[in-house]
Amino acid sequence: MSQSIIFFDGVCNLCNASVDFIIRRDKKNQFLLGALQDPLSKKVLGKYQVREDYLDSLVLLEAGKVYFKSTAALKIARKLSGIWPVLYPLIFLPQNFRDAVYDWIGKNRYRWFGKKNSCRIPSPEEQFKFLSAENIPF
């Protein structure tokens, strides 16, 4: 099984809390994580024509396809342990509606949750969950 990669805003407190949430619920190690600001993340995403300065949402790279915003979030939720896969049917709501809600939260995330001065550094126990030159799954 090839791992999917979740790219996130490494300085956003909400995004980092979401990463912690995902790490705790990714019992099958289906995801690698990478900060959008990281040069390796930029290199990987560049192969999929994602702008190098993109920070508007989390990005999911799964089976060679790139997903953004609410679609990415719901595809991630579908693979987490616990009750979270029950959210996946929300994918059938119109994407414009889902993304409008996502964008409203995203637009206010720094004001509501704050921002770090630098990207998150994974702990030694988390290191295997983060994208590195040694574990790119392709």
Q: Which of 49-58, 73-82, 91-100 is the least confident region?
A: 49-58
pLDDT tens by residue, 92-116: 999 999 999 999 999 999 999 998 8
> Residue 137: pLDDT band by 50, 70, 90 thresholds?
low
The answer to whether 35 and 59 are in contact (CB under 8 A) is no
Contacting residues for 28 by C-beta, under 8 A, at least 6 apart: 79, 81
Radius of gyration of the chain (CA): 14
Does 138 score more than 90 pLDDT? no
Distance CA 124, CA 128 (A): 8
Q: What is the rounded distance in angstroms from the CA atom of residue 79 to the CA atom of residue 29?
A: 10
Residue 120 has pLDDT above 80, yes or no: no
DSSP summary character for residue 74: H
